[in-house]
Structure 1
Amino acid sequence: MCRQHAKWMACTMCIGLLMLAWSTTAAMQADVHVSRPEAKEHSELEATLYVPFRAAAGDRRAQGRSFQVSLAYPDGGQPHRVAWTVTLAGSAPQAAVLQQWSGQDSLGASALDINLHWDGCARARAPPHAACSPAPDGLYQLRLTAIADQGQGNEEVVEQQWQLAVDRGSGVRPHVPAFGMKAGTGPGATPDSPLEASPYRVVYANLHSQTNHSDGGGALAACHGAQEPQTGLFGPLDAYAYAQQHGLDVLMASEHNHMYDGSDGTNGTADPAAALALYRTGLAQAAAYTAGHPGFLALYGMEWGVINQGGHLNIVNSDLLLGWERNVLGELLADVETPKSDYAGLYALMRAQGWIGQFNHPAYAGQFLLDGQPLGYSADGDAVMVLCEVMNTSAFSNNDSETETRRSNYEAACNRALEAGYHVAFSSNQDNHCANWGAAYGNRTAVLVAAGTPLSRDSLFEALRARRVFATMDKHARLLLTANGHLMGERFDNHGPLLLATSFSNDAGRQAAAITLFQGVPGRNGTVTPLSDQPSISLTPAPGPHFYFARLIQDDGNVIWSAPIWVMQGEKTRGEEAQWQERPPVPEKVAADSTANGHTSK
């Protein structure tokens, strides 16, 4: 412990000034925390939408199918009124609505499942008993909007969107070149032109889970939600062994930073030494498991923040515990004081320390506020936030057969972060609170690490900083996006035409059913829009900054998202050049001459 404190004392003067600036805020929060219990974590609206991508065998002609809306509000049985709407429309922006369902329900201690049926007809403006006009073959989008306590000060909004296919046999599936093939850039090259073998290999990770170091580790038979902090049966070593046995290459135990006092609120009698010792134990267990199990990487870190008026993010490589809570003696229950919900200050600290992070299950509105803006941009935040969860399974799933149907989509929030100017890649994790690490579903965060080198903290963090990542709902899938030969995750200058090309493979034999290339403008704070429904396209962008990414839907409905690629087209203004040259910090332990992602690390 002394060694860790010595390390902290050796930090740069900027950190000292940062901590001084935080002192007043932290002191005010300490007074509040000791005198008043805080809202429990996970006391929030949960709303998911299960959408079969294809019609069942008996509905192949009509193409109808049933959907399920699942609603829950774990708040100690307190009643909450939820208004919900499900809208079926075409997949293009401003597409016509085919049908809509809506209702209002009261949620208490029990969850609610609402079953809806669609008969395959387009009925938006037709009388209720009009003859069926079959929906044409194609891709459609089902959107759920659920609002809890509407019109009250604690109103919450959850939006979900999933695609479905109407396919009576007349549709044409896209031909996507096999993974490992990418577009050439020389004369006569086509999107199918093969290049040399990839210098990377794919490892599959779950970068968001809990154990009994916070509110996870619950035995499957009795686990239906978050555990009381530090009461679960299973700890990090159990989690790593389980994840490895279930085929994962990487598991991160991301424990809630404010539960090291054994409380969901603030434990006034907590011993700071015990809290810090538990965090150190987790770090040591991860290192020991990794050393004893070559080929598997065990990570230990923290999920920082609170949901209510905050937002959760993972810090994946901090050896110091951050927090804001104090006991009745005024002793800090952490190594470093970080005021709750002060994201500007946190980002600055992370940047100075070389830490990197992930936006966890981000809400479109009301979280990660900077100057009142949700997912507000800062250069510090852009330098350290490398991932954004685009899809997760239910945090409270006790499914261990990879068939969980409660799945959440955060694509709208991640797109908002990209449009704000963040350079984040998509990730997909399980947020496990029950003892089923990696087994709730087949979703993974897939990372392209350097081939020929052992899987290690260094190799993984280098790949995350380079944003060489894709998010997948299928652990057998691989997806790649290139732009003029540059790999997804890169930032580069371009003049003239730009060739975007994707490649895809699935070891279990699944095929691509649909693919969409998307485009956006970093810093515009606008809307990400579809660019093409083909696996490759050549275009000449307008001068200025752009980003592009691919979303592929398999024939079983599972979705894969590539990392974005950022392109500066043509002439740059000085302001654009300044933002474009922001690069995430690379600690000394990562080779300074690494050029695997197309630019020299700094």
Structure 2
Amino acid sequence: MARAFPALIALLALFGAGPAAAQYTLYWGNFHSHSNLSDDAAGPLSGTPGAAFQHARDVANIDVLAVTDHSHYLSASEYSSLQSQADNWTTNGTFVALAAQEHGSLSSTVSGAFGHLNVWEAAGVINQNLYRYNLAGTYAWLAANVDDTAGLPLAASFNHPYSSAGAGADAQFHDLDFDANGYGPMKFIEVLNGKRTASYEPEYLLALGKGWHVGALGNQDNHDGSWGDQPNNVGNIPLTGIWATSLTKAAILEALNARRTYAVEVQPITDRISLRFVADGTHWMGSEFSTAADSVQFQVEVSASTDIASIQLFRNGTFIKSIGVSGTSFTWNTFDTPGPGNFYYFVRVNQADADRAWSSPIWVESTSNFSLPISAVKENDGSGFPTLWFQNVTIQGIVTVETGALHPTDNKIFVQDASGGTMVQEFGTQTVNLQRGDNVLVTGIVDTFQGQTFLSSPSALQVLSSGAPPDPEVVTTAQADAGQEAYEGLLLEIHDVAITGGAWPAPGFDGTVTIDDGSGPLTLFIDHFTDLDEAGAPTDSTFSVRGILTQQDITPPYSCCYVLLPRDAEDIFQVEGVDVLELPTHHDATATNLSPARPNPFSRTTRIRFEIAGDRDQPVLLAIHDVTGRLVRTLVNERLSPGSFETEWDGRDGRGAGVAAGVYFTRLVTPTQDLSRKIVRLD
């Protein structure tokens, strides 16, 4: 009997216009209770299975009750009697009574005890001699059997899954480790259990994180009567909302197999939160589906007697967004762009009176290649923290620091695209061996440490192609130090530097030295996970260095302390200068200037003239960049005296290959100037 509570009336009115509005009806159930057939529920407040069903139907006003007496205490004839009573108390459209059993042991001393689980409508009692202390065997038995009503695969739940339930290695279902045999039948976990006041939300997240596809149940675990309306010791009544096609035993079992349930705290007794959670219009809570779309659309519809305070959306166990609510009913249409990978989503509803509801998850396999530019991931909120902090995002970029270069066990890599660079870190594992030049798609959580933004714990690391790593951005020490956020995470190269402070670390230790190319100081960080500490300090008075600009700032708003991190000893090197034609009309220039290339546009070669002002030699960089800012070729990289100069570009990149027709830029960099001109190459 689907009682016409005010919340349900409002919910049905609210759902009237939805695309799948008439598909399911909301019913209320308690899927874990005991009668006097259980050894620990034979007290004066308990009663027969028939008494339990009658109280649930006529007093508690719920639609479904499962009596789950302990299998180790049930004889075959007692279970048969329970089945008969459940059938007799079931009236289609009015009330469904389920015969079930609670199996296992909570003993902390008997080897093999693994906790308790419920299984509904099995044909017979699980063999206790074979399976009470045999978790693997129990999973296999559940997977091999079907219910005796609808012929569907058995559905089972992890009950009150606290960590000390059981003994030895299999306690708490072997720490809720995933098991392929148990994957099919283990459909649920109790997020709420009335006999124990605490919620099992952490265990819910643990099971989901380990790969179980389990839905949420709120049960009372009655041992002293009050089946369906028994509050725990803080006054909340745990219940399960279940969406089914009708109120029949077969339809309820189908809904259990589909995990269309949610766990809810009820207080007062008539204030039952009604919750509908659907993805992409048709995929209800508990479902699994695949999509190639860039975003997943969610609709959350909530109704209750007491005001709703907020709705929170979680992805893969991490809170990603919420909305504040005022009133007793609300519809929230929202979306997520997870990128490629496997994800699960659930919602938690919070009432103004502190009652809560947890939906079963929706599992999504996304094949979308949607990605954000790295610069968007690195945007901060003004206080030094990323605006996307703790959000799950996908980026695509080229690997500049490979697996194993900066850590022996973590997968600590750097990637960059045309907009910027960032670190990606898997902690304690290296699931994919990435190499420099790999074009990768990465999905991970935006995080920050000491001011440096990075992607943590990636859920997807996909190599799209392999190739050459990007050319470094050639800068001066002053530009690297001043560039800060713009250069953070990028591969940079600086020429003609000298060590002006600090000491090179001894082997096995980290250390810093100060380098300067004449434009200003910059900190060079030597990481002992590289081979630089073993290689020792450069012997030349000046040298070139290549590395990633990172940040080591411990104070908000994290605006200082940028350091250059070489990847290995080969990042310390010498560069031959480029021949530059000093013009016969040499004179002291009055201003540093970059003239237009001649001819422009050009087909084969073009000449570039520039003037250097000042009264002494200085480092000069003349380079060609494409429209994305990527370095194509360095033409001049040496110290020059003030004067006028000219050089030539033959339309080739730094590897000698001809570049495509299009727009490029000449760029002249000195300690005091950064000038550029557009140049066009024709076919």
After TM superposition, the score normalised by the length of structure 2 is 0.45
Q: Which residue of 2 is the match for residue 476 of structure 1?
A: 272
Q: Which amino acid aligns with 1:259?
A: Y
Q: Tell me the CA shift for residue 419 of structure 1.
A: 0.9
Q: Any residues of structure 2 matched to 1:170-189 within 5 Å, and which? A: none
Q: Is the 1:344–1:370 contact (alpha carbons within 8 Å) kept by the matching residues of 2? A: no
Asked if residue 249 in structure 1 is aligned to residue 44 in structure 2, the reply is no
Q: Which amino acid aligns with 2:41?
A: G
Q: Tell me the CA shift for residue 248 of structure 1.
A: 1.2
Q: Which residue of 1 is the match for residue 376 of structure 2?
A: none
Matches of 2:273 and 2:87, distance apart in 1: 29
Matches of 1:376 and 1:498, distance apart in 2: 29
Q: Which amino acid aligns with 1:219?
A: P
Q: Which residue of 2 is the match for residue 111 of structure 1?
A: none
Asked if residue 493 in structure 1 is aligned to residue 290 in structure 2, the reply is yes
Q: Which runs of 5+ in 1 are unaligned?
A: 1-176, 183-191, 221-231, 261-274, 325-336, 396-406, 521-527, 576-602
Matches of 1:487 and 1:345, distance apart in 2: 32
Matches of 2:222 and 2:88, distance apart in 1: 22
Q: Any residues of structure 2 matched to 1:50-449 within 5 Å, and which? A: 194-195=18-19, 197-214=21-38, 215-220=40-45, 234-245=47-58, 246-260=60-74, 275-291=75-91, 295-308=94-107, 309-324=113-128, 337-354=129-146, 355-364=154-163, 373-394=174-195, 407-441=197-231, 442-449=237-244
Q: Tell me the CA shift for residue 193 of structure 1.
A: 8.0
Matches of 2:132 and 2:20, distance apart in 1: 49
Matches of 2:202 and 2:130, distance apart in 1: 28
Q: Which amino acid aligns with 1:208?
A: H
> Which of 511, 522, 533 is the equivalent residue of 2:322?
533
Q: Is the 2:241–2:262 contact (alpha carbons within 8 Å) kept by the matching residues of 1? A: yes
Q: Which residue of 2 is the match for residue 600 of structure 1?
A: none
Matches of 1:571 and 1:364, distance apart in 2: 38
Q: Is the 1:394–1:408 contact (alpha carbons within 8 Å) kept by the matching residues of 2? A: no
Q: Which residue of 2 is the match for residue 12 of structure 1?
A: none
Q: Tell me the CA shift for residue 491 of structure 1.
A: 0.6
Matches of 1:286 and 1:564, distance apart in 2: 30
Q: Secondary structure at the match of 1:533?
A: strand
Q: Name the CA shift for 1:447/1:320 in 2 (closer, same or farther; >3 Å).
A: same
Q: Which residue of 1 is the match for residue 491 of structure 2?
A: none
Q: Name the CA shift for 1:469/1:417 in 2 (closer, same or farther; >3 Å).
A: same
Q: Is the 1:479–1:502 contact (alpha carbons within 8 Å) kept by the matching residues of 2? A: yes
Q: Tell me the CA shift for residue 436 of structure 1.
A: 1.2
Q: Tell me the CA shift for residue 315 of structure 1.
A: 0.8
Matched positions, count: 326
Residue deviations 1:277-300 (CA, integer Å, cap 9, x gap): 112111111111225x86111111
Residue deviations 1:4-31 (CA, integer Å, cap 9, x gap): xxxxxxxxxxxxxxxxxxxxxxxxxxxx
Q: Is the 2:114–2:174 contact (alpha carbons within 8 Å) kept by the matching residues of 1? A: no
Q: Is the 2:30–2:220 contact (alpha carbons within 8 Å) kept by the matching residues of 1? A: yes
Q: Secondary structure at the match of 1:247?
A: coil
Asked if residue 504 in structure 1 is aligned to residue 302 in structure 2, the reply is yes
Residue deviations 1:368-402 (CA, integer Å, cap 9, x gap): 9669941111222110011111012226xxxxxxx
* RMSD (CA atoms): 2.6
Q: Is the 1:367–1:375 contact (alpha carbons within 8 Å) kept by the matching residues of 2? A: no
Q: Tell me the CA shift for residue 548 of structure 1.
A: 0.4
Matches of 1:217 and 1:244, distance apart in 2: 21
Matches of 1:553 and 1:206, distance apart in 2: 21
Q: Which residue of 2 is the match for residue 517 of structure 1?
A: 313
Q: Name the CA shift for 1:316/1:479 in 2 (closer, same or farther; >3 Å).
A: same
Q: Tell me the CA shift for residue 196 of structure 1.
A: 5.5
Matches of 1:382 and 1:316, distance apart in 2: 16
Matches of 1:493 and 1:294, distance apart in 2: 34
Q: Any residues of structure 2 matched to 1:555-574 within 5 Å, and which? A: 555-570=352-367
Residue deviations 1:208-250 (CA, integer Å, cap 9, x gap): 1111101225334xxxxxxxxxxx5x11011111111120111
Matches of 2:366 and 2:309, distance apart in 1: 31
Q: Name the CA shift for 1:511/1:217 in 2 (closer, same or farther; >3 Å).
A: farther
Q: Is the 1:179–1:480 contact (alpha carbons within 8 Å) kept by the matching residues of 2? A: no
The structure that is strand-richer by fraction is: 2
Q: Which amino acid aligns with 2:318?
A: T
Q: Which amino acid aligns with 1:384?
A: P
Q: Is the 1:179–1:478 contact (alpha carbons within 8 Å) kept by the matching residues of 2? A: no
Q: Which runs of 5+ in 2 are unaligned?
A: 1-9, 108-112, 147-153, 232-236, 324-331, 370-430, 432-683
Q: Secondary structure at the match of 1:557?
A: coil
Q: Is the 1:367–1:374 contact (alpha carbons within 8 Å) kept by the matching residues of 2? A: no
Q: Could you say which structure has the larger radius of gyration?
A: 2
Matches of 2:218 and 2:104, distance apart in 1: 19
Q: Tell me the CA shift for residue 463 of structure 1.
A: 0.6
Q: Name the CA shift for 1:392/1:373 in 2 (closer, same or farther; >3 Å).
A: closer
Q: Tell me the CA shift for residue 351 of structure 1.
A: 1.2
Matches of 1:421 and 1:180, distance apart in 2: 37
> Which stretches of structure 1, 4 residues or longer, exceed 2 Å deviation after superposition?
177-182, 192-198, 217-220, 337-341, 364-373, 534-539
Q: Which amino acid aligns with 1:285?
A: Q
Matches of 1:533 and 1:570, distance apart in 2: 25
Q: Which amino acid aligns with 1:280?
A: S
Q: Is the 1:208–1:254 contact (alpha carbons within 8 Å) kept by the matching residues of 2? A: yes
Q: Secondary structure at the match of 1:473?
A: strand
Matches of 1:347 and 1:481, distance apart in 2: 29
**Higher RCO (C-alpha 8 Å, min separation 6):** 1
Matches of 1:492 and 1:392, distance apart in 2: 30
Matches of 1:423 and 1:511, distance apart in 2: 31
Q: Secondary structure at the match of 2:55?
A: helix
Residue deviations 1:159-192 (CA, integer Å, cap 9, x gap): xxxxxxxxxxxxxxxxxx967768xxxxxxxxx9
Q: Tell me the CA shift for residue 341 of structure 1.
A: 3.0
Q: Which moved more, 1:435-444 or 1:309-318?
A: 435-444
Q: Which amino acid aligns with 1:213?
A: L
Q: Tell me the CA shift for residue 352 of structure 1.
A: 1.1
Q: Which amino acid aligns with 1:240?
A: F
Q: Is the 2:348–2:359 contact (alpha carbons within 8 Å) kept by the matching residues of 1? A: yes
Q: Is the 1:213–1:235 contact (alpha carbons within 8 Å) kept by the matching residues of 2? A: yes
Q: Tell me the CA shift for residue 349 of structure 1.
A: 1.2
Matches of 1:512 and 1:251, distance apart in 2: 27
Matches of 2:313 and 2:347, distance apart in 1: 4
Matches of 1:435 and 1:365, distance apart in 2: 26
Q: Is the 1:180–1:197 contact (alpha carbons within 8 Å) kept by the matching residues of 2? A: no
Q: Tell me the CA shift for residue 476 of structure 1.
A: 2.3
Residue deviations 1:104-160 (CA, integer Å, cap 9, x gap): xxxxxxxxxxxxxxxxxxxxxxxxxxxxxxxxxxxxxxxxxxxxxxxxxxxxxxxxx
Q: Tell me the CA shift for residue 512 of structure 1.
A: 1.1
Q: Tell me the CA shift for residue 258 of structure 1.
A: 1.1
Q: Which amino acid aligns with 1:394?
A: K
Matches of 2:224 and 2:286, distance apart in 1: 33
After TM superposition, the score normalised by the length of structure 1 is 0.51
- Give the fraction of aligned pairs with identical amino acids, expressed as a percent: 30
Q: Which moved more, 1:386-395 or 1:427-436?
A: 386-395
